[in-house]
A and B are shown apart, each in its own frame.
Chain A
Amino acid sequence: MNLTLLISPFIIALLAALLPSNRWRPWLPPVGGLLHFVLTLKVVFGPADTTGGLWIGLDPAGKLVLLLISALFLITSIYLIRYLKFHPQRQNRVFVACLLCTLGSMTMVTVSQHLGLMWVSIEATALCTAPLIYFNKTTRSIEATWKYLLIGFVGIALALLGTFCLAYSALHAGLQPSLSLSDLLHDAPQLSKPWLHVAFVLMLIGYGTKMGLAPMHTWKPDAYGAAPGAVGTLLAGGVTGCAFLCVLRIYQIGSVAGEFAFMSPMLIFMGLFSMAVAGVFMVGQKDYKRMLAYSSVEHMGILVLGLGIGPLALFGTLLHLINNGLTKGVLFLSAANIHRSYNSTTTDGTCGVLRRLPLSGGIFLAGFLAITGSPPFGPFISEFSILSAGFGAGKYVVSGLFLLFLLIVFIGMGSTVLPMLQGKEPKTTTRTPYREGFLTLAPPLVLLGAVLMIGIWIPDSLQTLLQSTVDFLEVQP
């Protein structure tokens, strides 16, 4: 296990906290991000390292999420150089240090092989991201942070209760309780069933709150709406990805215990319900950042729905995790450019984006098409794969509803996005001094390229990684 990978973000965060210069500090996250990304590539695609201990180690599922967060962080941190330059008067010491700590704690989630450590890491991500949401220091951001913390912490408390129940299920079955993943997977068939069920429900609700599944999603629109756009990328792609990994862990334990039939309806319900709620709130949504938050709720729904459909949909679900993370990056970063230029996040104050900011507007449009599942982008492939798995598993009603909700979301999102992009520039709104530059355009463009590439051709290394994750999660009967 590469300890440098785990520790370097925290060391650089410490450096950021000590560095006195407000001007040079924003350069630290890209440096940390690059180092992290290189190390990640090394451990993910390098020779297999089996020296994982009781507490930490990298399995395929962890590798997949690690790759996603590392890539997203690198891109986001490059974008943030310009963002922080726009706000020279604001102290960015806390912001930058917390940003790097977020990377560190997300990495911890991915390498945790112990459910207790995993829980602590999730708690750490919640704590580190709160100051990021609060960065703008307006009444809106205070309110959003308060909600984010309160709802998030209740979720985390429930996840802890679920973890206790999981340990108790071993105790009740007369086994030596352990929270290490390998022990749990080994003992899973003997675990006490009722307590395992309770543990699953509590952990799904608890970590589902962190993912932002409906009905525990209420913090999400506020937090994403108030946070800087680039932070939205990290939250929607990275932190939710980590929470999803936690759900994957308990899902895997449940499947090995032979409880798929118990988990499946719940996952499907949560998935479809999240999609439906997102669809309802997206229709007529006036704030495009909040709209993106609801889109995130929808896609988290798709992920747990994919889990609920079963092993057939596993490949599509994991691919969708990557696709969603990358596409959210495209959308949040280009939306942040639009926000910067119009100084407004409502659709009333924003129109004619394609004329004023042809590049950001174009990227945003492409991102919209990608996230709603239009070919030739990546999400089309993964959503189609989940859908065909649904039909393949004989779940016709579920698959039908899935399609219906996708359609509603497409219409709802389109009715917000298209008027905003088209039309003439309003004469009333003043133009801020923002001009598009390389550092604000390249990051979303790179992500868009990646999304497009996955839609057309999945690289062999990614394909292998996805396949090994599927093999790792799939239960051999």
Chain B
Amino acid sequence: MNPLLNALLVVVLVLNLFALGTSRLVTVIKIVSLQGVLLGLMPLLLEEDIAMPVILTSTVTLALKGIVIPVMMLRAMRDVQIKREMEPLIGFLPSMLLGALATGLALLFAKALPLADEHTTQLLVPAALATIFVGFILLTTRAKAITQIMGYLVLENGIYIFGMLLIGVMPMVIELGVLLDLFVAIFVICIMVNHINQAFSSLDTRKLSELKE
């Protein structure tokens, strides 16, 4: 039982709901960045004897999720001059409620899962499930490319939380999750360099519908 870790996870869950409830892109980016910082701290809390790989994981995560990607996102946002997410598929309040419902269900569901003894009192599994679900909501119901990327980032954070279960036994494998951040970085570069805004002028992925059938 690690009270501090559980407290951090609760904060992560609350941040999820905030991310769902706001229309201001800057706020979403800041929320996800804060989530990244918390995630970066977690490996340090989980391990009693702090070894080199754990410190490495922690630093890389903190730097990437907490600083590099948010800064890139903010720059991209400034480049394409978008401030708000307009007309999401599901409104902000309903999606927030949906997120809360998912969090509750994740808590119940995780109780039913067979877990190793040392993990039964931790919130890791429910937090991971809830965060992945919130990521999916953001990814599928938002129209702006930037919010979709934020959704992907949240989804990825959920997977990272799940990876914490394994950090004691295979720390380097958790590092794999950091590679997903690479994708995100590339997405952002795509937006900045790559004329999505010139071609579609609004960065609205719903306008990317020429290929629909």
Contact = CB atoms under 8 A, between A and B. Distances in A.
Chains A and B come from one and the same complex: yes
Interface of A: 116, 119-120, 123, 127, 139-140, 142-147, 149-150, 153-154, 156-157, 160-161, 163-165, 167-168, 171-172, 176-179, 192, 194-195, 221-222, 225-226, 281
Contacts of B51: none
Contacts of A142: 194-196, 199, 208
Contacts of B163: 164
B20 to A, nearest CB: 18
A195 B208 CA distance: 38
Contact of A195 (B114, B190, B209): B114
The 4 closest A-B pairs by CB, nearest first: A143-B208, A222-B211, A161-B159, A153-B183
Contacts of A119: 176
B210 A143 contact: yes
Chain A CB within 10 Å, residue with most, of B155, B183, B186, B194? B183
Contact of B162 (A127, A145, A161, A192): A161
Contacts of A222: 211
Of B132, B139, B190, B209, which is in contact with the most chain A CB atoms at under 10 Å from its CB? B190
Contacts of A154: 139, 152, 155
B211 A164 contact: no
Contact of A172 (B114, B187, B194): B114
Interface residues of B, number: 39
A171 B116 contact: yes
B7 interface: no
B210 A161 contact: no
A146 B209 CA distance: 11
Contacts of B200: 139
A167 to B, nearest CB: 5
Dominant SS among interface residues on chain A: helix
A177 B166 contact: yes
B166 A161 contact: no
B174 to A, nearest CB: 8
Given A143-B211, A194-B113, A179 B162 contact: no
Contact of B211 (A123, A140, A150, A157): A140
Contacts of A195: 114
Given A139-B199, A146-B208, A116 B173 contact: yes
A120 B179 contact: yes
A192 B166 contact: no
A462 B122 CA distance: 52
A160 B180 contact: yes
Contacts of B48: none
Nearest to B180: A157
Contact of B148 (A144, A150, A178, A221): A150
Contacts of B155: 154, 157
B205 interface: yes
B49 interface: no
A116 B152 contact: no
A149 B187 contact: yes
Given A194-B113, A194-B114, A149 B190 contact: yes
Interface in B160-183: 162-163, 165-166, 169-170, 173, 176-177, 179-180, 182-183
A146 B196 contact: yes
Contact of B152 (A146, A150, A194): A150
